[in-house]
Amino acid sequence: MLTHCCDGSLPITTVSKQGVKLSLILPSDYHSIKKIQRNRLLQWIPSDTSDTVLPQKHLRIGILNIMPIGHEYELNILNSLGSTNFHIEPVWIKLETHLYKTWPKGYVDNSYMTYEEAKHQGNLDGFIITGTPLEHLPFEEITYWNEIISIMNDARDTVTSTLGLCWAGMAMAYLLGVKKIVYEKKMFGVFELKNTAPDHPIMAATDDKFVCPQSRNAGMDSDDIEKAESRGYLKALAYSEEVGYPIYETPDHKQVIHLGHPEYNSSRLAYEAKRDVDNPRVPPISNFDFKNPSNVWKMHRHTFYQQWVKLCYEKSYPEEIYQN
C-alpha cells in the first residue's frame, strides 16, 4: 500500500507497486545522465530496459522545446519533473518549421520527434511548451506561429493539460483574447508573488507568498486578464504589483500559463545575467547575485510541478486516485 504526504501526494522515496522508485524514464545514453546521477533528488530508469521492469503506469509528458541552446536547457525541465512523485517519460518534441540554429547539428533530428509522431506513439498525459526570446515580436511575424497554433489547438482537445512557460504562456493567453504588452526594458530578476488561489489544485501546496524568476521582454495586459476572469475565460493564480499576473489558467485546467521560469536552475539565470550585462535593453538583474548564484525559488518549482503533474495523473488514471 502506498503511503501519503499530508496533501495527498506520494513522498519522493516511495516505491511503486512494481518495486521501482518513482523515476524519470530516459535513454541510457542520454547526454546529461551523469548530471542526473549526481542529483540526489532524481532517480531514473533506462527506457531500453525490458517492459517487465519498467512501470506499467507512467506519464508521457510531451515537451516542445524551442529555447535557444535548448539541449542545455533540457536539464531544467528534467529537474522539475524528476522531483515530482511520479514515473515520467519525457517526450521531446520539435517544430517542423523551426531551424534550431543554436543547437548542435543533428541533435534535434536524432533526439526529438514531431508532435504528430509523439501522438502516434501513444497518448500524451501532459504537455509543456517552453519559452523562446521572441516576445518582443508580434506573434504573426514568427515563422512557426501557424504550427504553434495548430499544436496548441490540438493539445487543448487531446491532452489532459498543457503548461505554457513564458512566451508560450503569452501565446496561449493571446489566443484567448488577452493583449500582449512589450516592455521598454526587460523584466529580469527574482520577484515575490502572492498566491491568489490558495484552494486551487495546483496552488494549494504553494506558500501564500513565494518567489520566482522572471526573464521576459513582455507581459500580458492586467486589465484584459481581469476582464477574461470576470467572463470565466481565465482564472488568475498569482499576482504582484511589480510583476502583474504571471500565473493563470483556463478554468477547465486544460491550459496552465506561467510567465515566469520556475524550472530555471540558478546557473541558467546566472548565464542569462552574464550574457546580457552589457545589453542596454536589459537592466541589472533584480534580487539575484549572478556572481554567487543562489536558488531561493526551489520550493515553488517543486510544489508547482508536483501539483501540475498530479493533476495530469489523476485525470489520466482516475481509478488510481490515492486512497488514505
Active-site residue, selected from the candidate residues 71, 74, 89, 166: 166
CB 14 within 8 A of CB 85: yes
Backbone torsions φ then ψ of 303, nearest 5 degrees? -70, -40
192 is catalytic: no
d(CA 40, CA 45): 14
Count of CB atoms within 10 A of residue 207's CB?
Answer: 14
* Cell numbers 501522438: residue: 119
**Would you say how long the chain is, in residues?**
324
Bridge partners (DSSP) listed for residue 128: 63, 163
Please give the DSSP secondary-structure letter assigned to residue 178.
P
d(CA 227, CA 241): 17
Active-site residue, selected from the candidate residues 212, 263, 272, 300: 263
Count of CB atoms within 10 A of residue 40's CB?
Answer: 6
Active-site residue, selected from the candidate residues 253, 258, 261, 300: 261
Using DSSP, state whether 168 is helix, strand or coil. helix
261 is catalytic: yes
141 is catalytic: no
Beta 24-26 vs 44-46: how paired, if at all? parallel
Q: Which are the catalytic amino acids?
A: 166, 261, 263
